[in-house]
Amino acid sequence: MAGRNHHNEPFDEATLVKLDLYRRYVRAWLPVFLNSPTLKIDKIQIFDFFAGPGHDVNGKSGSPLIALEEINGALEKEHRHNPGIHLFLNEMMKHKFDTLKVSCAESELVSIVKFHYLNKEFGEAFKEWSSEIGKNTPVCKTANLVFFDQNGTKQITREVFTKTISSIRTDFLFFIASSYIYRFRTQPYNVEPAPILPQDFDGMTMKNAHRKVCDAYRRLLPSGWRYYLAPFSIAKDYGSNVYGLIFGSGHPLGMDKFLKICG
């Protein structure tokens, strides 16, 4: 996964599984805030920090277009509320970024969804948008879904994780190359940001590395902090490569929805 430009070819099976999980969670997540009888949300925000060009070489929808398709589907149904909907899309590579903007401009939702674009390295983009993720006031209540489809293992640092879980009404999904972590577990620059400790390597295999990483993130939760994390594995190449998804939510209903879509 690290270093691979998978948008220049059709999405492989593992990527399609990953995107299907993302689609199903967006589909389950949106109606919560469009229909809540007790909580009126002013803004729905979806953050995609590794957006790519929007589709693969065959035009198969990537995460940005999936989000738009699911927003459109949710709005076509009867709903109680009409919050502002914001889609934040970052893509570091300029040629992909240019294609991404063109792809989104063709959406029928351009007059409904507010688009925010960045063409920056992940750390810079997260620094710029983290204040938006954390912005919840009595005057403007916000619900956030954050998608970290990182190309490798290093991006979700302690600081990124802590800021994300500290934001009210924020769920996140992020992917890690479990087999990559296992193969290069002796290289500190590959594993320290995760943040993995030496004892995490006890019993680690290529197939359970994402669970070990999930446990490492659980250790970062402040004492008494109620936050829910769960791992999910995606195998490809007959199990020779394993990618892991880690889901996080501050509400047990969010975790319940995730476990149902994975089931």
The string of pLDDT tens digits covering residues 227-251 is 999 998 876 655 556 678 899 999 9
Asked if residues 8 and 109 have their Cβ atoms less than 8 Å apart, the reply is no
Overall average pLDDT of the 69-84 stretch = 96
What is the 3-class SS of the chain, one letter each residue? CCCCCHHHCCCCHHHHHHHHHHHHHHHHHHHHHHHCCCCCCCEEEEEECCCCCCECCCCCECHHHHHHHHHHHHHHCCCCCCCEEEEEEECCCHHHHHHHHHHHHCCCCCCCEEEEEECCCHHHHHHHHHHHHCCCCCCCCEEEEEEECCCCCCCCCHHHHHHHHCCCCEEEEEEECHHHHHHCCCCHHHHCCCCCCHHHHCCCCCCCHHHHHHHHHHCCCCCCCCCEEEEEEEEEHHHCEEEEEEEEECCHHHHHHHHHHHC
Q: What is the pTM of this model?
A: 0.91
Question: pLDDT at residue 179 above 80?
Answer: no
Q: Using one digit for the tens of pLDDT, what is the confidence trace for 24-71?
A: 999 999 999 999 998 899 999 999 999 999 999 998 999 999 999 999
Q: For residue 2, name the pLDDT band (cuts at 50, 70, 90).
A: very low
State the pLDDT confidence band at 3, using cuts at 50, 70 and 90. very low
pLDDT tens for each residue of 140-173: 999 999 999 876 567 888 899 999 999 999 999 9
Name the average pLDDT for the chain: 87
241 strand-pairing partners: 236
Paired tokens of 166 = 């500290």
Task: State both tokens at 206.
Answer: 């290529």
Distance CA 133, CA 191 (A): 26
Query: Angle of helix 94-105 relative to helix 63-76, nearest 10 degrees?
Result: 20
